[in-house]
Amino acid sequence: MTGSDRLDFLGRMITQDVRPLPPYSWRHSFWLNRKGRIDADMRVLVLPDRVLLEMDIHAVARALAGLNAYVITEDVTLRDATQEIHRLALHGPGAASALASVVGHTQPTPGVAPQPTLLSITHGQAMNCSFGGSIVTVVRDDWTGETGLEIFVPIDRARLLYEGLVALAHAHAPASTAATKPVGPALRPIGWHALNIARIESGTALYNLDFGQNNLPHETGDEVLRSRVSFKKGCYLGQEIVARMDARGHPKAVLRALAIVGPDARDGSGTPRQPVTGVPLFATPDASGEPVGAVTSSTVSPMRSSTPVLFAMVRHASAAAGTTLYVPAEGAIVATTVQPGLTFWTRDGNRSAF
């Protein structure tokens, strides 16, 4: 998004108040339709000359068409950059130092407050780096419970940057000797399975997995809601429905985190009982009656001694913290307990939300 009216226009369209944001900062926000449903869950990244709206690829065309429909006289231009920008990510305590070994600094933008450095960037900030003659934008978002750097790189430089990081990983892997056991690389590639474990442990719900296009903002739970919706700003599309729901007090269903503890957590052989996505939750031990919810994501948490943990959309009457609900898992009906929040683990025990 470019144009002199970009922040003012966006501030009247989305649920988050982004107009006061300085360059090199970001916030999460919803883009709603007229019925107050979540058409997109986006990261709004403010840069000196543009705003980058990052979202699930399946929401891009819908959000682009919806926002463009409201551009009348404003100096605003929106375009789809999906085929121009690739996103890589580094998560872990060594993320900043590792990336700093591969990318370079950029010159300050005249008239704009200095941007942070890779070693000083904090959650909610962004910065530009240089790589291969191109500008790379880095966002600090700690959504796995550790330092998290989201790296937006021109698509023709993405493979080179990835290979540079992988080469750095191999360079840091010590050779095995009789006196020294290999401790592994300073960083290494991971897949969806590992990332999914970490994001569930740290309480990060994902669009099109844990909530989606048919949900109202209040159904995402207080942590997600407050990180994406400003209740102090002026009008935006869908605000009337959001305000009405807030005044009512609660939605019909809400996203909750649940954990399986005690003897139900494992079968007779010690294998964790993990519910699969989509299975129903019940209020009774024999799983009788109508379901009161459904699992949206689940994993076995290494940071909680291999406890099965999950996110689920739960009816309001059964969603209070401490409530025991029952779920099919590995051929048994097991007891699971609603947690007070979405977060199961973070390194410092306290995750800031934006």
Domains and CATH numbers, the chain: 6-82+216-247 (3.30.70.1400), 85-171 (3.30.1360.120)
Instruction: Read off the pTM.
Output: 0.91
Predicted local distance difference test score (pLDDT) of residue 354: 32
- Yes or no: say if 295 and 337 are a contact pair by the CB < 8 Å rule: no
196 Cβ contact list (under 8 Å, min separation 6): 297, 299
Q: Which residues of the chain have pLDDT under 50?
A: 177-178, 181-184, 350-354
Write b or e for each residue in 182-219: b if 16 or more Cβ atoms lie within 10 A of its Cβ, otherwise e: eeebbbeeeeeeeebbbbbbbbbbbbeebbbbebbbbb
Predicted local distance difference test score (pLDDT) of residue 175: 54
Handedness of CA 337, 271, 187, 162 (dihedral sign): negative
Predicted local distance difference test score (pLDDT) of residue 169: 74
Write b or e for each residue in 287-297: b if 16 or more Cβ atoms lie within 10 A of its Cβ, otherwise e: eeeebbbbbbb
Helix (H) or strand (E) holding 227, with range, is: helix 222-228
